[in-house]
């Protein structure tokens, strides 16, 4: 072993040891968080890694993702070469050719060459995007983040160029087979005949290259490139259940002084791992209705700042934890509140919980739960929330609906119609869950009447709960009032258990999602269908037959909790397609990439006084298509669009629920 | 400082009110009950005063009402009230303001007080009597319809604004004093969850008439409720519609003259 080899070995080992300590510290930092179970489903989890890491499925869902795909795979092959070269410098004579034979080594070398060249091209495109095109998704408040991105791209370019230099020199010295190194051969041609001391040249390049690699290894955990460490486990540990479920809180401990999350340790370890996983690609903010209408919230900024906050806090908190063995426990160290310095209340309340951020995120970060966790603290522990929300909470407590209307009038919409009440009928096939909007809002009521009429035409054996029905709890839950939500949920479950029915059908995606994916947390499971699914079944079974309406050019808006969260995309469209006279033009943002109407997450009940209005933004998207009707399948969306049309003084566009159209075609 | 807040259990503002068969009360089925909304301003002001004065200040809620009043008392305790006295006796089933003021006066005297907050009126029967009769019984000054409340630094007197037609009247009153609260005085807080949890353990001292030293329900004064009558039915509304506004106005004028005979 040469002196140079020994020095490199010592350095290499030292870097690995330090890196090991850093990783240990990162893991200990995660353990500051609360427990969360993400075990099980190993097969499905490994599959996630294959699809979303190896094949980069989400990364590639946007064209710019190709650059990442190339850099990712390029670096895997470049790293293989780096390892070979370092080991070769330490133990002369060891190489892939020596170990695996010339063919395997050749294939590795060929991929290295080609991919590294493509990496260079990808970096040029990246720099062009970042500094010339500046797309919405790469905008970030922190100027340090942009400098860091530039720094990293420079380092990567340097490593690739150095590698070509090393391999080029290697070809000239006969160490590298030019047949498997097309790009390096070209570089070798450039180096040839320049009177270079090739050994010295290669050595200087190799040392520079390896020192950069060592630096990179130690720098990564402190930069956004921590995602190299965080993203893969985060994808492995991703939420495999429905995305629209919030965590269930336990209120057993009556002496608790705090509910919800105020500091970083209140989050679970998995939520902290999310912070390591962020690649700062900004796809979340480019899809965020709050960000795109000039609200202060950006999911990208939120994760970026929360990670910075975690990094700032961990020293203090870990020291406190070490003290556990001694006198002061971790409990003794006070965490810095996240609000107002890391996040402001305006940001927290701007979220519509539409889930577009989570839908886009390549490493599967779960933003919405974090926002709701922070809301929970503000609402339940501090009673700190926009003033208009207090009346909403009161209404839900006293009259079980967010409207300020007496609960005893809940079934008044059905007066004069043949609508059976569960308390009289006891046994029936379908429990038609009206929901608050359907019960109290005039526009919602007309949708319910249409659904009930369709039930009548198809001879559906159904009943409503009437005055026994309470708000499903969705709004309270997403506003952070988990306690109130659970009161409503428990109350509803008690009532539902009294009756015998086969399924719940509802015309509200919020109620639908809540019954389908959240009520099981509270011990209530039933088959739950959205009216678009149920009506389509009736059509397919021939119990209903769609007819004709006056020729209409419309577009269909996917409600977040129906499309994005529950994959119900085709059913409403199928119903519309069966009605002759209806022609559908899709919006640019549709399906799982639909753009929120602005009402979700309790935003329906809050003032929208920052930035532009989300509903108007969405309405202008529909009117650009030149349609005369916006079709929807959610009473909140309908209200938001009608308000948006009114605000824009657009009189020639109507908003209609799919049930209303279907009924009209049959009449 | 000993702060008393009075509270009354009343039907929710959105409840459908129906007179019972005997005509001496309302039908309670399908009716939700809440804290009298004006009393909430009193509770909030009491809590703010306690937070401001500090020391061993205490806020005690006093409520006279049926057994079910416990629920609204717990709500007040959840907001931050320290403890409560619940005067509950079958003989107080349908009390007059005189009777209620008499028992409240007794209970409040037993508790001791520096300042009493209450709503300007109950939103159920709208009598707005109790606080004034209570002031007389306790022989202390009363300020009604307060919209601003401040306490002098030496804690000897209160400076208030009270809402009068077209403006506010600034008033000064020496302590002890009873203040009835008007909308606008403050925004009552939403009980926090730790507050709700703690409220479950706070003390509610239930007292009947005998506990307060009464042999029978105190006199109901010289007026008496004879009967509760349903709201007289409003007239039918007729919408005048026409293609041109001018025609609609003509038709309206004709209806007013010929049918309603008012012009």
Per residue in A81-108, pLDDT (tens digit) is 899 999 998 998 888 988 998 899 999 9
- Nearest-Cα distance to chain A for B141, in Å, is 34
CATH number of the domain where residue A431 is located: 3.40.50.1860
Q: What is the CB neighbour count within 10 angstroms for residue B29? A: 8
Give the mean model confidence (pLDDT) for residues B110-124.
96
Identify whether residues A525 and A562 lie together within a single domain.
no
Which residues of chain B neighbour A255 with C-beta distances below 8 Å? 197
Smallest Cβ distance to B193: which of A381, A398, A408? A381
CA atoms within 13 A of residue A660's CA, in its CB half-sphere: 18
Instruction: Show the tokens assigned to A201.
Output: 């040249």
Which residues of chain A neighbour B34 with C-beta distances below 8 Å? 398
Is the Cβ–Cβ distance between A608 and A639 less than 8 Å? Answer: no
- Nearest-Cα distance to chain B for A499, in Å, is 21
Domain locations in chain B? 2-207, 233-263
Identify whether residues A132 and A85 lie together within a single domain.
yes
Instruction: Show the tokens assigned to B22.
Output: 């005997």
- Rg of the Cα trace of chain B? 22
Per residue, what are the HEC states of chain B? Answer: CEEEEEECEEECCCCCCCECCCCCCECCCCCCEEECHHHHHHHHHHHHHHHHHCCCCEEEEEEECCHHHHHHHHHHHHHCCCEEEEECCHHHCCCCHHHHHHHHHHHHHHHCCCEEEEECCCCCCCCCCHHHHHHHHHCCCEEEEEEEEEECCCCCEEEEEEEECCEEEEEEEECCEEEEECCCCCCCCCCCHHHHHHHCCCCEEEECCCCCCCCCCCCCCCCCCCCCCCCCCCCCCCCCCCCCHHHHHHHHHHHHHHHCCCC
User: Residue A70: which of A111, A33, A42 has the closest Cα?
Assistant: A111
Residue in this structure with the two tokens 């339940």, named with its chain if needed: A380
Q: Do A467 and B196 touch (CB under 8 A)?
A: no
CA dihedral A74, A78, A79, A81 (to 10 degrees): 150
Give the residue from A511, A537, A563 where a domain finishes.
Answer: A537
Classify residue A386: in a domain, yes or no.
no
Which residues of chain A neighbour B189 with C-beta distances below 8 Å? 383
Look at residue A40 and give its three-state secondary structure: coil
Burial A249-284 (b: 16+ CB within 10 A, else e): beeeeeeeeebbbbbbbbbbbbbbbbbbbbbbbbbb
Classify residue A105: in a domain, yes or no.
yes
User: Residue A658: which of A566, A561, A569 has the closest Cα?
Assistant: A569
CA distances for A211 relative to A15, A158, A160, A214, B217, angstroms: 10, 12, 14, 5, 94
Identify whether residues A572 and A476 lie together within a single domain.
no
Q: Do A393 and B190 touch (CB under 8 A)?
A: yes
Instruction: Show the tokens assigned to B248.
Output: 């609609």
Q: Is residue A62 exposed (0-12), middle (13-18) or buried (19+ Cβ within 10 Å)?
A: middle
Percent of chain B with pLDDT over 70: 100
Identify whether residues A191 and A161 lie together within a single domain.
yes
pLDDT, tens only, B57-87: 999 999 999 999 999 999 999 999 999 999 9
Identify whether residues A529 and A617 lie together within a single domain.
no
Is the Cβ–Cβ distance between A495 and A466 less than 8 Å? Answer: no
Classify residue A247: in a domain, yes or no.
no
The Cα A504–Cα A496 span in angstroms is 10
Q: Give all strands (DSSP E) within A229-317, no chain letters.
A: none
The Cα A443–Cα A217 span in angstroms is 59
A205: Cα separation from own chain's centroid: 42
Is the Cβ–Cβ distance between A552 and A582 less than 8 Å? Answer: yes
Q: What is the CB neighbour count within 10 angstroms for residue B187? A: 11
Low-confidence ranges of chain A (pLDDT < 70): 322-332
B2-207 — its CATH code? Answer: 3.40.50.620
Residue in this structure with the two tokens 């951020």, named with its chain if needed: A357
Smallest Cβ distance to B192: which of A255, A380, A399? A380
> Could you tell me the pLDDT band of residue B220, with boundaries at 50, 70 and 90?
confident
Classify residue A640: in a domain, yes or no.
yes
- Nearest-Cα distance to chain A for B241, in Å, is 21
Q: What's residue A323's pLDDT? A: 56
Q: What's residue A331's pLDDT? A: 58
Report yes or no: A423 at the B interface, CB cutoff 8 Å. no
Q: What's residue A322's pLDDT? A: 64
Q: Do B14 and A406 touch (CB under 8 A)?
A: yes
CA dihedral A446, A450, A456, A462 (to 10 degrees): -70
Is the Cβ–Cβ distance between A146 and A130 less than 8 Å? Answer: yes
Is the Cβ–Cβ distance between A16 and A256 less than 8 Å? Answer: no
Identify whether residues A311 and A436 lie together within a single domain.
no
Which residues of chain A neighbour B30 with C-beta distances below 8 Å? 408, 467
A296: Cα separation from own chain's centroid: 18
pLDDT, tens only, B163-183: 999 999 999 999 999 999 999
Sign of CA dihedral A499, A502, A508, A513: positive
Identify whether residues A138 and A281 lie together within a single domain.
no
Q: What's residue B93's pLDDT? A: 87
Per residue, what are the HEC states of A583-650? Answer: EECCCCCCHHHCCCCCCHHHHHHCCCCCCCCHHHHHHHHHHCCCCCEEEECCHHHHHHHHHHHHHCCC
The Cα A485–Cα A511 span in angstroms is 12
Residues spanned by the domain of A190: 3-30+62-222
Smallest Cβ distance to B12: which of A380, A381, A399? A399
Q: What's residue A332's pLDDT? A: 67
Q: What is the CB neighbour count within 10 angstroms for residue A179? A: 12
CATH number of the domain where residue A560 is located: 3.40.50
Q: Is residue B192 exposed (0-12), middle (13-18) or buried (19+ Cβ within 10 Å)?
A: buried
pLDDT, tens only, A155-171: 999 999 999 999 999 99
Give the residue from A508, A537, A566 where a domain finishes.
Answer: A537
Identify whether residues A462 and A420 lie together within a single domain.
yes
Beta B142-151 vs B157-164: how paired, if at all?
Answer: antiparallel
The Cα A303–Cα A305 span in angstroms is 5
Which residues is B60 bridged to in the sheet?
A: B4, B83
Burial A458-473 (b: 16+ CB within 10 A, else e): bebebbbbbbbbbbbb
Which residues of chain A neighbour B187 with C-beta distances below 8 Å? 387, 390
Identify whether residues A406 and A520 lie together within a single domain.
yes
The Cα A50–Cα A61 span in angstroms is 16
Report yes or no: B249 at the A interface, CB cutoff 8 Å. no
∠ at Cα A617 (A611, A622), nearest 5°? 175
Beta B9-11 vs B33-35: how paired, if at all?
Answer: antiparallel
The Cα A573–Cα A557 span in angstroms is 10
Look at residue A529 and give its three-state secondary structure: strand
What is the phi/psi pair of residue B19, to 5°? -75, 140
Q: Do A251 and B190 touch (CB under 8 A)?
A: no
Which residues of chain A neighbour B190 with C-beta distances below 8 Å? 383, 385, 390, 393-394
Look at residue A655 and give its three-state secondary structure: strand
Classify residue A574: in a domain, yes or no.
yes
- Nearest-Cα distance to chain A for B199, in Å, is 10
Classify residue A255: in a domain, yes or no.
no
Give the residue from A509, A537, A565 where a domain finishes.
Answer: A537
Residue in this structure with the two tokens 């009032």, named with its chain if needed: A481
Tally of domains in chain A: 4
CATH number of the domain where residue A308 is located: 1.10.1060.10
Residue in this structure with the two tokens 């700042």, named with its chain if needed: A305
ipTM of the prediction: 0.86
Classify residue A275: in a domain, yes or no.
yes
Residues ≥6 apart with Cβ < 8 Å to A243: A355, A358, A359, A366, A564, A565
Sign of CA dihedral A98, A104, A106, A112: negative
The Cα A397–Cα B33 span in angstroms is 11
């Amino acid at each position: 072993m040469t002196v140079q080899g020994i020095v490199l070995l010592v350095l290499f080992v030292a870097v690995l040891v330090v890196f090991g300590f850093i990783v240990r510290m990162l893991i200990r930092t995660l353990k500051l968080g609360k427990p969360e179970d993400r075990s099980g489903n190993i097969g499905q989890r490994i599959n996630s890694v294959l699809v979303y890491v190896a094949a980069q499925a989400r990364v590639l869902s946007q064209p710019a993702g190709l650059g990442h795909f190339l850099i990712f795979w390029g670096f895997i092959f470049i790293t293989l070469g780096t390892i070979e070269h370092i080991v070769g410098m330490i133990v002369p004579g060891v190489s892939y050719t020596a170990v695996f034979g010339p063919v395997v080594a050749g294939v590795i070398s060929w991929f290295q060459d080609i991919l590294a060249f493509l990496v260079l091209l990808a970096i040029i495109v990246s720099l062009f995007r970042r500094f010339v095109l500046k797309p919405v998704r790469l905008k970030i408040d922190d100027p340090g983040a942009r400098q860091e991105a530039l720094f990293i791209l420079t380092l990567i370019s340097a490593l690739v160029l150095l590698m070509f230099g090393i391999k080029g020199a290697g070809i000239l010295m006969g160490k590298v087979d030019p047949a498997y190194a097309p790009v390096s051969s070209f570089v070798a041609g450039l180096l040839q005949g320049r009177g270079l001391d090739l050994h010295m040249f290669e050595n200087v390049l190799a040392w520079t290259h390896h020192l950069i690699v060592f630096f990179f290894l130690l720098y990564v955990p402190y930069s956004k490139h921590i995602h190299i460490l965080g993203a893969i486990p985060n994808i492995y540990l991703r939420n495999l259940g429905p995305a629209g479920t919030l965590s269930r809180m336990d209120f057993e401990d009556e002496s608790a002084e705090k509910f919800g999350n105020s500091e970083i340790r209140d989050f679970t370890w998995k939520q902290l791992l999310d912070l390591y996983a962020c690649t700062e690609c900004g796809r979340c903010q480019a899809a965020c209705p709050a960000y795109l209408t000039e609200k202060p919230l950006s999911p990208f900024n939120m994760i970026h700042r929360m990670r910075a906050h975690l990094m700032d806090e961990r020293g203090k908190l870990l020291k406190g934890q070490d003290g556990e063995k001694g006198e002061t426990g971790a409990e003794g160290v006070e965490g810095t509140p996240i609000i107002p310095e890391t996040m402001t209340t305006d940001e927290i309340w701007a979220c519509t919980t539409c889930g577009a951020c989570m839908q886009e995120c390549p490493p599967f970060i779960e933003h919405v739960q974090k926002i709701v966790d922070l809301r929970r603290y503000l609402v339940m522990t501090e009673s700190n929330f926009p003033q208009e929300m207090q009346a909403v909470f009161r209404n839900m407590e006293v009259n079980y609906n967010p409207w300020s209307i007496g609960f005893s009038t809940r079934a008044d919409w059905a007066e004069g119609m043949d609508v059976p009440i569960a308390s009289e009928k006891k046994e029936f096939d379908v429990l038609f869950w009206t929901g608050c909007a359907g019960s109290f809002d005039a526009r919602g009521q007309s949708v319910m009447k249409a659904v009930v009429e369709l039930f009548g035409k198809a001879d559906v054996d159904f009943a409503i709960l009437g005055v026994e029905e309470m708000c499903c709890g969705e709004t309270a839950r997403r506003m952070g009032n988990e306690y109130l939500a659970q009161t409503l949920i428990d109350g509803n479950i008690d009532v539902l258990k009294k009756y015998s029915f086969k399924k719940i059908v509802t015309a509200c995606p919020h109620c639908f999602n809540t019954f389908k994916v959240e009520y099981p947390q509270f011990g209530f499971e039933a088959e739950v269908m959205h009216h678009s699914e149920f009506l389509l079944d009736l059509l397919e079974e021939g119990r209903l037959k769609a007819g004709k309406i006056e020729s209409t050019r419309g577009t269909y808006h996917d409600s977040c909790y129906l499309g994005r969260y529950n994959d119900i995309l085709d059913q409403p469209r199928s119903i519309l397609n069966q009605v002759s006279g209806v022609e559908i033009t899709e919006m640019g943002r549709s399906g799982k990439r639909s753009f929120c109407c602005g009402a979700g997450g309790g935003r329906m009940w809050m003032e929208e006084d920052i930035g532009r209005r989300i509903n108007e933004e969405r309405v202008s998207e529909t009117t650009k298509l030149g349609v005369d009707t916006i079709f929807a399948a959610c009473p909140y969306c309908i209200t938001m669009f009608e308000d948006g049309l009114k605000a824009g003084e657009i009189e020639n566009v109507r908003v209609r629920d799919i049930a209303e159209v279907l009924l009209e075609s049959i009449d | 400082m000993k702060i008393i807040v009075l509270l009354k259990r009343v039907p929710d503002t959105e409840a459908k009110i129906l007179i019972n068969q005997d005509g001496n009360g309302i039908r309670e089925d399908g009716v939700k009950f809440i804290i009298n909304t004006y009393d909430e301003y009193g509770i909030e002001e009491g809590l703010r005063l306690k937070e401001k004065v500090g020391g061993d200040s205490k806020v005690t809620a006093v409520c006279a009402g049926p057994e079910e009043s416990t629920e609204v008392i717990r709500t007040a305790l959840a907001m931050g009230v320290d403890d409560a006295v619940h005067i509950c006796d079958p003989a107080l089933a349908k009390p007059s303001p005189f009777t209620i003021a008499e028992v409240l006066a007794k209970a409040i005297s037993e508790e001791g007080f520096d300042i009493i907050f209450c709503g300007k009126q109950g939103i159920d029967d709208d009598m707005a009597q109790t606080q004034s009769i209570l002031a007389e019984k306790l022989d202390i000054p009363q300020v009604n319809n307060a919209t601003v409340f401040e306490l002098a630094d030496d804690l000897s007197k209160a400076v208030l604004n009270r809402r009068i037609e077209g403006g506010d009247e600034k008033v000064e009153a020496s302590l002890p004093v009873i203040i009835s609260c008007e909308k606008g005085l403050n925004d009552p807080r939403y009980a926090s969850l730790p507050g709700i949890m703690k409220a479950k353990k706070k003390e509610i001292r239930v007292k009947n008439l005998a506990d307060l030293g009464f042999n029978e329900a105190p006199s109901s004064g010289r007026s008496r409720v004879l009967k509760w009558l349903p709201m007289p039915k409003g007239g039918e509304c007729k919408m005048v519609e026409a293609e041109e506004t001018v025609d609609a106005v003509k038709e309206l004028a004709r209806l007013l003259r010929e049918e309603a005979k008012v012009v």
